[in-house]
């Protein structure tokens, strides 16, 4: 993955956004990363997911009430902000 943006969640937990490893010219991906002390990836969670998979994943989690009301509200606020930035 060619990382272009990183969010540090603390405790060694990062979220990375950038060009995918499988198609760096055309596909975007996001990764839940837990780096090891040597800079590698923890096997417990360092998956790279295509951006287009996020909508069905979030919808599926929401349909099964896996997200709290506070988490849903946080996502709704972030999405509304994104809409405003894209369509001022």
- Cα 1 from Cα 48, distance rounded (Å): 8
pLDDT band for 25, please (50, 70, 90 cuts). confident
Where do the domains of the chain lie? Answer: 2-86
pLDDT tens digits along 47-83:
889 999 999 999 999 999 999 999 999 999 999 999 9
d(CA 43, CA 18): 21
Q: Where are the alpha helices (DSSP H) in 44-68?
A: 54-63
Residue located via tokens 């951006």 = 51
pLDDT, mean of residues 31-41: 79
| CA–CA gap between residue 15 and residue 32 (Å, rounded) | 5
CA distance 3 to 16: 6
- Using one digit for the tens of pLDDT, what is the confidence trace for 2-20? 999 999 999 888 899 999 9
């Amino acid at each position: 993955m060619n990382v272009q943006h990183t969010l540090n969640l603390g405790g060694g937990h990062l979220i990375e956004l950038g060009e995918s490893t499988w198609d760096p010219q055309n596909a975007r991906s996001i990764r839940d990363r837990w780096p090891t002390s040597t800079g590698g990836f923890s096997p417990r969670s360092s998956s790279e997911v295509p951006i287009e998979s996020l909508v069905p994943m979030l919808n599926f989690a929401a349909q099964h009430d896996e997200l709290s009301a506070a988490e849903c509200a946080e996502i709704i606020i972030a999405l509304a902000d994104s809409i405003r930035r894209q369509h001022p």
